[in-house]
């Protein structure tokens, strides 16, 4: 039987590749976007052309409770119960700590932490009722060890890890798994603002000597959503080329 996965921030990058992976594995996928309606719609049209009724583009700013509720309502109405939730939507910002504004701080936590909170709250009642479900939250290696000039991002991604571990304990008795993926440097638009020499330096520092691709993260997410990981919960899986050990 086909299942449904909802992937937030799936208009591009890691989220899009993750949605594609789940779709290839036979899932129906809800492709969430915030501003990129065009790319998300185009992606979903192509998936539906190849397998009618297999994908839905669903707009919502994950930091807005009403929009999150409507996203889950539409997804469940059109694709069925959400059995896998991937909290991938996120923003990043590089700035000296002393230059950070209160707005920078609030925006980071509103999208990267509150967004995950709201989506989990929307997904869990159904999962608890069915006594089945998997949640995968996307953190970052900077949430594990911290990064200079990314204090608010590191703090938010660290919160994602602690949130994952706490929620995993709370909903484990309902047979729901909550895990986390903490990627290293992945070649996406998120890193587009970094100068080429900074990307080269990160590649050189990475023991495997390459930048990660969105598919490297998508495979890790898939593993944590697949039956092969049924006894794994509250864990952090780190596709990072060995940069953070």
Kindly list the catalytic residues: 153
Does 138 participate in binding ligand NAP (rule CB under 6 A)?
yes
Does 31 participate in binding ligand NAP (rule CB under 6 A)?
no
DSSP characters for 92-125?
-----GGG--HHHHHHHHIIIIIHHHHHHHHHHH
Q: Scan for tokens 């000597």, then name that residue.
A: 209
Indicate the residue among 65 and 130 with the shorter CB distance to ligand NAP: 65
Does 63 participate in binding ligand NAP (rule CB under 6 A)?
yes
Does 137 participate in binding ligand NAP (rule CB under 6 A)?
no
Does 241 participate in binding ligand NAP (rule CB under 6 A)?
no
The single residue among 58, 185, 218, 238 that binds ligand NAP, judged by CB under 6 A, is 185
Does 188 participate in binding ligand NAP (rule CB under 6 A)?
yes
Does 48 participate in binding ligand NAP (rule CB under 6 A)?
no
- Residue 1 Cβ vs ligand NAP, minimum distance, rounded to whole Å: 28
Question: CA-to-CA distance for 118 and 32, rounded, in angstroms?
Answer: 14
DSSP characters for the chain?
---EEEESS-SSHHHHHHHHHHHHTT-EEEEEESS-HHHHHHHHHHHHHHSTTSEEEEE--TT-HHHHHHHHHHHHHHH--EEEEEE---------GGG--HHHHHHHHIIIIIHHHHHHHHHHHHHHHHT-EEEEEE--HHHHH--TT-HHHHHHHHHHHHHHHHHHHHHGGGTEEEEEE---SB-SGGGTTS-HHHHHHHHHHSTT-S-B-HHHHHHHHHHHHSGGGTT--S-EE--STTS--
Does 206 participate in binding ligand NAP (rule CB under 6 A)?
no
Does 90 participate in binding ligand NAP (rule CB under 6 A)?
yes
- Residue 211 Cβ vs ligand NAP, minimum distance, rounded to whole Å: 8
Does 127 participate in binding ligand NAP (rule CB under 6 A)?
no
Does 33 participate in binding ligand NAP (rule CB under 6 A)?
yes
Indicate the residue among 129 and 198 with the shorter CB distance to ligand NAP: 198
Stretch that binds ligand NAP, among 8-16, 21-29, 45-53, 119-127 (CB under 6 A): 8-16
Indicate the residue among 92 and 123 with the shorter CB distance to ligand NAP: 92
Q: Which residues bind ligand NAP (CB under 6 A)?
A: 8-9, 11-15, 32-36, 61-63, 88-92, 111, 115, 138, 140, 183, 185-186, 188-191
């Amino acid at each position: 039987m086909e299942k449904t996965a909802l992937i937030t921030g799936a208009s591009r990058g890691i989220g899009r590749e993750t949605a594609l992976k789940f779709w290839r594995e036979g899932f129906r996928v809800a492709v969430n976007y915030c501003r990129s309606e065009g790319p998300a719609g185009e992606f979903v049209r192509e998936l539906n052309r190849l397998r009618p009724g297999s994908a839905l583009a669903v707009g919502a700013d994950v930091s807005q409770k009403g929009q999150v509720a409507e996203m889950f309502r539409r997804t469940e109405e059109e694709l069925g119960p959400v059995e896998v939730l991937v909290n991938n939507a996120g923003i990043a910002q590089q700035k000296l700590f002393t230059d950070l504004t209160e707005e920078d701080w609030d925006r980071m936590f509103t999208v990267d932490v509150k967004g995950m909170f709201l989506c989990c709250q929307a997904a869990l009642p159904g999962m608890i009722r069915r006594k089945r479900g998997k949640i995968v939250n996307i953190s970052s290696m900077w949430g594990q060890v911290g990064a200079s000039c990314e204090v608010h991002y590191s703090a938010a991604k660290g919160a994602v890890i602690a949130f994952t571990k706490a929620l995993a304990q709370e909903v484990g008795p309902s047979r729901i798994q909550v895990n986390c993926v903490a990627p290293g440097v992945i070649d996406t638009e998120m890193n587009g603002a970094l100068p080429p020499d900074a990307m080269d330096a990160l590649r050189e520092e990475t023991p495997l000597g390459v930048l990660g691709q969105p598919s490297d993260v998508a495979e890790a997410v898939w593993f944590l959503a697949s039956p092969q990981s049924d006894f794994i919960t509250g864990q952090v899986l780190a596709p990072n080329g060995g940069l953070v050990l």
